[in-house]
């Protein structure tokens, strides 16, 4: 309890999957949570459920690839909750499964707009608030595929590699401002994104595909959303006050 008490925590992509778990755990740990997403019904319901448990929480409809909307929502969240201290850049899409010789410019750009520019815009407009607060923590969701390659979805893998080095660069640029920036690299976590990806990859027996993908990890199974959320809580809290520019792989040993 209270590991992030007094901190305003913005979580993007907070309505579903990993982001939802991050928002829930940060709220339980005393954070005021600003939920950004496109799924309004789920986002509003989550904010209401968190408030019912005594947390401070509000949902904003934000497309992270829209800079003006990102800035407005971050400024509103700062005004409502009293500054910004934690940013969890979680919103992401898997996008086109086409290989390099097939993918169109538009399909490539769609993935970079959310996964790369979304991270940029949120950091860009949260950093002034963090400076004003005397510091902060930015946690960027990359992937095992920001650390190692795989023979599919090149647009997604490029985006996650970019997020890894954006994190390290910003860690160095803003260390003097006491803003820590770290990346988290999940292995396969069972969420709507992974289910859609397996379907898009042509899997017909989803349960069998889920088991097979799980077995790619040395621990023998996929992870759960809370496996990532607890890592995010650690990086958001002062327990990690000497950690910046780090890559936290939470991947069942996939990249070991």
List the 179-186 sheet strands across, edge first.
Answer: 57-61, 32-37, 8-12, 86-89, 136-141, 179-186, 247-250
Q: Which of 9, 17, 125, 129 binds ligand NAI (CB under 6 A)?
A: 17
Residues 15 and 154: their CA atoms lie apart, in Å, by: 26
DSSP bridge pairs for 185? 249
CA dihedral 9, 230, 241, 161 (to 10 degrees): -80
Q: Which of 10, 15, 139, 162 binds ligand NAI (CB under 6 A)?
A: 15
- Checking DSSP bridges between strand 179-186 and strand 247-250, what pairing results, if any? parallel
| Residue closer to ligand NAI, measured from CB, 177 or 195 | 195
The answer to whether 85 and 136 have CB atoms below 8 angstroms apart is: yes
* 156 tagged catalytic: yes
Q: Mask of contacts with ligand NAI, 133-152, x by CB under 6 A?
A: --------x-x---------
Residues 47 and 167: their CA atoms lie apart, in Å, by: 28
Q: Which of residues 172-191 bind ligand NAI (CB under 6 A)?
A: 186, 188-189, 191
Does residue 194 interact with ligand NAI by CB under 6 A? Answer: yes
Q: Which of residues 80-109 bind ligand NAI (CB under 6 A)?
A: 90-93
Does residue 114 interact with ligand NAI by CB under 6 A? Answer: yes
Residue among 156, 174, 188, 254 flagged as catalytic: 156
DSSP helix/strand/coil, 89: strand
Per-residue exposure over 59-88, b if at least 16 CB sit within 10 Å of its own CB, e if not: bbebbbbebebbbebbeebbeebebbbbbb
- Shortest CB 174 distance to ligand NAI, Å: 21
Residues 186 and 194: their CA atoms lie apart, in Å, by: 12
Does residue 155 interact with ligand NAI by CB under 6 A? Answer: no
Does residue 130 interact with ligand NAI by CB under 6 A? Answer: no
Candidates 47-55, 56-64, 103-111, 130-138: pick the segment binding ligand NAI (CB under 6 A): 56-64
- Shortest CB 78 distance to ligand NAI, Å: 18
Does residue 192 interact with ligand NAI by CB under 6 A? Answer: yes
Does residue 233 interact with ligand NAI by CB under 6 A? Answer: no
Catalytic residue IDs: 156
């Amino acid at each position: 309890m209270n590991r992030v008490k007094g901190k305003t925590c913005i979580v993007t992509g907070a309505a579903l999957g990993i982001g939802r778990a991050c928002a829930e755990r940060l709220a339980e740990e005393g954070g005021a949570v600003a939920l950004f997403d496109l799924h309004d019904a789920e986002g509003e319901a989550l904010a209401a459920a968190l408030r019912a448990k005594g947390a401070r929480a509000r949902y904003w409809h934000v497309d992270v690839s829209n800079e003006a909307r990102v800035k407005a929502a971050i400024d509103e969240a700062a005004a409502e909750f009293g500054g910004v201290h934690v940013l969890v850049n979680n919103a992401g899409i898997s996008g086109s499964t086409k290989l390099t010789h097939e993918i169109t410019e538009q399909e490539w750009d769609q993935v970079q707009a959310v996964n790369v520019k979304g991270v940029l815009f949120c950091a860009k407009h949260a950093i002034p608030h963090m400076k004003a607060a005397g510091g902060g923590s930015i946690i960027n969701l990359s992937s095992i595929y920001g650390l190692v390659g795989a023979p599919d979805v090149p647009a997604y893998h490029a985006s996650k590699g970019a997020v890894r080095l954006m994190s390290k660069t910003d860690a160095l640029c803003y260390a003097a401002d006491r803003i820590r920036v770290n990346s988290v690299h999940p292995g396969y976590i069972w969420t709507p994104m992974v289910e859609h990806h397996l379907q898009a990859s042509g899997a017909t027996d989803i349960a069998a595909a889920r088991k097979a993908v799980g077995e790619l990890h040395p621990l023998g199974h996929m992870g759960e959303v809370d496996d990532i959320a607890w890592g995010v809580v650690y990086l958001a809290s002062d327990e990690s006050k000497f950690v910046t520019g780090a890559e936290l792989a939470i991947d069942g040993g996939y990249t070991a």
